[in-house]
């Protein structure tokens, strides 16, 4: 058996030759893929140090590695006579095969095209903080990578979100890294009709000045009033949208305590 394999090792028409060329091409494709990965990783380190966007480089790297394996398969199909004969038969039914493959890979191709679209139009880049819609609701996360089929994000609490590129391109995404870094935060308080508005306003403004996460105070305005009470709205700005809930909670808690101490009634 060993002598048979050695004698027919380089003959692609034999089983030994088919196995040998398959192993050689797989190994070569793997080596080329590793070399590309190392080269891209080295370039990315330099790009990050120089402040260059790495999104396109990562995506092209994934695409080229995929093309290497496709090229290896095409070379293999060209070398093996049995596959060449099958190729002649396949050409006769190429229309049917194309339809079947198109239907079977519709989602995959859609994600690939969407990934190319993300790279060309760049609504966001690797490292940007964006808000996306997920089955669990809106999430704010940092873009980790844009691959051939999927976009990966990391939330502040360490969870990883993986979305198909086609879904990412078809939804509305908010990019906090490429827009105004300040986030508007409105904190309304409903005062009783007889409440001292000026004193309540001063208390709210003083509270806002004491919250480190608030970067700007726009003011404290009456937005509406009715028989139920007066709505006094504290308008502020913060840098991180993830801090908004905590800021609002802190402001309302302090406002409740100080309003009670000052005899200001709220509804």
Which secondary structure element, helix H or strand E, spans residue 140, and what is its range? strand 137-146
Report pTM.
Answer: 0.45
Q: How far is CA 23 from CA 7, 80, 85, 149, 170, in A?
A: 17, 13, 21, 27, 41
Query: Fold match between 121-175 and 183-262?
Result: no
pLDDT of amino acid 46: 62
Q: What are phi and psi of 151, to 5 degrees?
A: -110, 125
| DSSP tag of 266 | B
Domain ranges of the chain: 2-92, 121-175, 183-262
CATH number of 183-262: 3.30.70.100
pLDDT band at residue 120 under the 50/70/90 scheme: confident
Alpha helices of the chain — where are they, by DSSP H? 2-7, 15-50, 55-79, 81-92, 94-104, 106-121, 165-170, 197-209, 244-262
Biggest CA–CA distance in the chain, Å, is 104
Taking domain 121-175, whether its CATH number is 2.30.30.60 is answered by: yes
Per-residue pLDDT reduced to its tens digit, 150-209 = 899 998 888 999 999 989 988 888 887 766 667 788 999 999 988 899 999 999 999 999
């Amino acid at each position: 058996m060993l002598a048979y394999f050695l004698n027919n090792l380089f003959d692609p028409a034999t089983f030994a030759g088919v196995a040998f060329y398959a192993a050689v091409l797989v190994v070569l494709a793997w080596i080329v893929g590793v070399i590309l990965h190392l080269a891209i990783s080295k370039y990315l380190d330099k790009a990050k140090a120089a402040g260059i966007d790495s999104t396109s480089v990562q995506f092209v790297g994934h695409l080229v590695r995929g093309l290497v394996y496709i090229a290896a398969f095409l070379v293999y199909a060209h070398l093996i006579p049995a596959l060449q004969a099958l190729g002649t038969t396949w050409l006769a039914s190429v229309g049917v095969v194309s339809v079947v493959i198109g239907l079977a890979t519709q989602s995959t191709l859609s994600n690939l095209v969407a990934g190319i679209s993300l790279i060309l139009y760049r609504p966001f880049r690797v490292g940007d903080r964006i808000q996306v819609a997920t089955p669990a609701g809106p999430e704010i996360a940092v873009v980790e990578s844009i691959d051939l089929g999927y976009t990966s994000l990391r939330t502040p609490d360490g969870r990883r979100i993986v979305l198909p590129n086609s879904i990412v391109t078809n939804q509305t995404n908010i990019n906090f890294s490429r827009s105004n870094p300040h986030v508007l935060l409105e904190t309304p308080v409903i005062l009783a009709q007889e409440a001292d508005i000026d004193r309540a306003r001063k208390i709210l403004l003083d509270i806002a000045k004491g919250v480190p996460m608030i970067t700007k105070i726009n003011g404290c305005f009456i937005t509406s009033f009715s028989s139920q009470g007066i709505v006094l709205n504290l308008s502020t700005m913060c840098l991180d949208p993830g801090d908004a809930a905590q800021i609002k909670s802190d402001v309302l808690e302090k406002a409740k305590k100080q309003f009670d101490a000052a005899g200001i009634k709220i509804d």
